[in-house]
Amino acid sequence: MATEGQTLEQQLEELLDQEKFPPPDGFVEQAVVSDAGIYEQAKDYEAFWAERAGALHWDTKWDQVLDWSNPPFAKWFVGGKLNVSYNCLDRHVEAGNGDRVAYHWRGEEGEELDVTYAELHADVQKFANALKSLGVSKGDVVAIYLPMIPEVAVAMLSCARIGAIHNVVFGGFSAESVKERIEFSEAKVLVTVDGARRKGKTAAIKSTVDEVIGDLVDTIVVVKRADNDAPMRAQASIATATSGIIGR
């Protein structure tokens, strides 16, 4: 326990001497990496992380693994460029793993969906093109205000694919919070949902957002899940693996 008069370095040293507790055997058995030798390898942390980063697809390889010239602000893989969306999806599909499950989704009302890399890849390509058709380009901000549904991942990966910045607003926040974040980030497009189900009730998300944000954004892209007749100015169908996406 830290005592008065100790320097930060002394406090850290004391914390490092605290007793450590190993993980349960069952946890260890299911670990992705089970070779204890990895701890020895990781002592040379630059070489360790460089080897693992090498498994990714880099458009431009890094010049320096770690820049620690201005601690505590570390810069990793300086000079390197990659596309997160490509690394999450394309490289797995290209490796022949498109039929493998990318993630398992379980919904509020007991829905179950296993989304494969190929399915997610197709949805992300489709929505990335839709965003581009709406005038979204590299550096633009897209606000995302969705409940925990599969389209959250589609929206984020689509933004990453075209170099746009996604600004995720937690689905439990109010419409006023969405407005504040749109104003602050100068978002060009908002992605939201017609209605969100919670404990047997449906919240009218789209109509509530309309009342609060007005014309702050040119376009609102709406995931159609609740079929609650949310008001729309114009509709363009963008189907995904789980639901339709329609836009204002």
Cβ pair 144, 185 in contact under 8 A: no
Q: Please indicate whether residue 228 or residue 62 has the higher confidence score (pLDDT).
A: 62
CATH of 84-247, one of 3.30.1330.50, 3.60.15.10, 3.40.50.980, 3.40.50.1980: 3.40.50.980
User: Does the pLDDT of residue 69 top 90, yes or no?
Assistant: yes
Q: What is the pLDDT of residues 144-189, one digit of tens each?
A: 999 999 999 999 999 999 999 999 998 888 889 999 999 999 999 9
CATH 3.40.50.980 intervals, the chain: 84-247
User: Does the pLDDT of residue 101 top 80, yes or no?
Assistant: yes
Q: What is the mean pLDDT of the chain?
A: 87
CA distance 110 to 203: 18
CA distance 176 to 182: 10
User: Does the pLDDT of residue 244 top 60, yes or no?
Assistant: no
Q: What is the pLDDT of residues 23-43, one digit of tens each?
A: 888 888 888 887 888 889 999
Q: Please indicate whether residue 3 or residue 236 has the higher confidence score (pLDDT).
A: 3
Cβ pair 124, 158 in contact under 8 A: yes
* Paired tokens of 219: 């376009």
Give start and end residues of each alpha helix (H) in the chain.
Answer: 8-16, 25-29, 38-41, 45-53, 84-85, 91-94, 117-133, 151-162, 175-185, 205-213
Q: What is the pLDDT of residues 39-63, one digit of tens each?
A: 899 999 999 999 999 999 999 999 9
